[in-house]
Structure formats: C-alpha cells, structure tokens
Amino acid sequence: MSTITRVHGEPGKPGVFLVPSASQPALGHQVAYQTEGVAYCTCPGFQHRRACVHVEAAAAHVRAEALGRPTTPEAISTARDRLRALERMFS
Ligand SMILES: [Zn+2]
C-alpha cells in the first residue's frame, strides 16, 4: 500500500519523497529525508511538531529500500512473477 514516490536520490539513500496526504489524497507532501531524526516535511503538522506521519513513512520507505525489498507496484509485481516461476520449477 506504499504509494510514496522518490523524486530525488538513490534507493536506500537520503533523498526527497512525495508522500500522499491522508486528508487530501490528490495533494502530496514533500519530505526531504537525510537520516533518522533528520528530515523535513512541507505539511502544517511538521511546522508545529517537527515530526509527522509523512517523515515516518519516508523513513520506513528508505529502510525497506536499503533491505532490497520491492517498494513500487512494478517491482512487487516482478517479484511475484519470479516467485511463481520458481514454484512452477519445483512442482
Ligand atoms: Zn508531514
């Protein structure tokens, strides 16, 4: 269900992300993520609290990328196809 879009940087590395807004799905918030605890988001919540769900989502996305887990719908679909091919091979 991850619909975070990386707009800058390499997978698993710091970068800039577009994270959908829960209240306004058509709009996204831009998150600049450096490392744990060092990030910036354009949403109003972050301006008040210096923390928000978008920054957390971007951090989780970077962690998943670093572990080599598929994070885009295309990558997940490719991984599923590979798994099916393996299953056929061993059945
Ligand atoms: Zn935010």
Using the mean position of ligand 1's atoms as its centre, give its distance from the Cα of residue 23 in Å. 12
Q: How far is the CA of 21 from the centre of ligand 1 (A)?
A: 8
pLDDT of residue 46: 96
**Mean pLDDT across the stretch 48-70?**
92
Distance between CA atoms of residues 60 and 13, nearest Å: 12
| Secondary structure of residue 5 in the 3-state scheme | strand
The pLDDT of residue 1: 43
| DSSP 8-state symbol, 36 | T
What is the SS3 assignment for 61? helix
Among residues 51, 49, 26, which one has the least CA distance to residue 38? 51
pLDDT for res 77: 85
Pull the structure tokens for residue 21.
């807004």
CA of 57 to the centre of ligand 1 (A): 9
Residue 72 has pLDDT above 80, yes or no: no
d(CA 4, ligand 1 centre) in Å: 12
Question: What's this model's pTM, rounded to 2 decimal places?
Answer: 0.73
